[in-house]
């Protein structure tokens, strides 16, 4: 193991970052087949498979500490999302109803859903991995968008009793799940990737703001409004 570790970190920077990028592809592209298997053979509800995929996609930032900074190849981290952008457009326009991505990443089985919230998510991920590469804005936006927005509808749909409506139906229980998931993911990923920026009270404050924005946002659009709120809030907090 020590030999493998030494070999990995002694590679030229470009090859090192390319190898890390390959790991992100293995990780990201292993999730849809697993979800498809669970949906098809074990009755996993579509909405849960969709949100597990959503959470796993947001968690791809766990690979960021492995990237060597200061070389153009650090931006290879967004390659997997660039590929998914092309795939989502293709599948959203032309996929069959039994397509793996349609079954595991949509609420209703309508392929056109892939051109809305899911597509917005991967576009945001590319922005966070390039313009906001290894910055507090990018890491916290992806952590909150991945875990907070991933958990909220799962809890809200199944356990939500106290409903409210602004632009879409939400529940207090779902919003609490969003806040808990956002805080937990924010603390974990910021500590992992940007330990010098680790400020629990600031992370909690940003998570509260993101929770409010999520509660006010229409469905699908929240994949844009949540990261935008995080970036703007960090400018004043």
pTM of the complete model: 0.88
Spatial distance between the Cα atoms of 14 and 220, rounded to a whole number of angstroms: 36
Mean pLDDT of the chain: 89
What was the pLDDT predicted at 96? Answer: 78
Distances (CA, A) of 195 to 6, 65, 191, 198: 24, 11, 4, 5
HEC sequence for the chain? CHHHHHHHHCCCHHHHHHHHHHHHHHHHHHHHHHHHHHHHHHCCCHHHHHHHHHHHHHHHHHHHHHCCCCCHHHHHHHHHHHHHHHHHHHHHHHCCCCCHHHHHHCCCCCHHHHHCHHHHHHHHHHHHHHCCCCCHHHHHHHHHHHHHHHHHHHHHHHHCCCEEECCCEEEHHHHHHHHHHHHHHHHHHHHHHCHHHCCHHHHHHHHHHHHHHHHHCCCCCHHHHHHHHHHHHHHHC
**Below-50 pLDDT ranges, the chain:** 1-2, 4
What was the pLDDT predicted at 4? Answer: 46
**Token pair of 70 as six digits:** 């200061």
What was the pLDDT predicted at 9? Answer: 60
**Token pair of 19 as six digits:** 């190898």
Cβ 152 vs Cβ 215: under 8 Å:
no
What was the pLDDT predicted at 8? Answer: 57
pLDDT in tens, 182-231: 999 999 999 999 999 999 999 999 999 999 999 998 887 999 999 999 99
pLDDT in tens, 85-101: 998 999 888 877 777 77
Distances (CA, A) of 49 to 38, 44, 137, 153: 8, 7, 27, 12
């Amino acid at each position: 193991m020590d030999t493998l570790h030494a070999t990995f970190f002694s590679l030229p920077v470009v090859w090192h970052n390319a190898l890390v990028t390959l790991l992100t592809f293995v990780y990201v592209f292993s999730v849809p087949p697993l979800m498809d298997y669970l949906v098809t053979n074990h009755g996993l509800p579509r909405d849960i498979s969709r949100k597990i995929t959503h959470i796993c996609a947001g968690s791809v930032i766990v690979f960021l500490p492995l990237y060597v900074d200061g070389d153009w190849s650090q931006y290879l981290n967004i390659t997997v999302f660039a590929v998914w952008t092309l795939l989502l457009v293709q599948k959203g326009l032309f996929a069959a109803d039994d397509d793996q991505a349609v079954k595991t990443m949509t609420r209703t089985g309508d392929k056109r859903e892939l051109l809305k919230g899911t597509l917005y998510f991967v576009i945001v991920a590319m922005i966070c991995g390039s313009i906001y590469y290894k910055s507090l804005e990018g890491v916290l936006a992806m952590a909150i968008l991945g875990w907070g927005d991933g958990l909220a509808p799962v809890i809200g749909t199944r356990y939500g009793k106290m409903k409210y409506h602004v632009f879409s139906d939400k529940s207090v229980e779902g919003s609490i799940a969003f806040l808990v998931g956002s805080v937990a993911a924010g603390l974990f990923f910021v500590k992992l990737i940007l330990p010098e920026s680790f400020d629990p009270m600031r992370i909690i404050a940003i998570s509260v703001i993101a929770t409010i924005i999520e509660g006010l946002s229409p469905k699908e659009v929240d994949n844009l409004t949540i990261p935008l709120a995080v970036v703007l809030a960090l400018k004043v907090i």
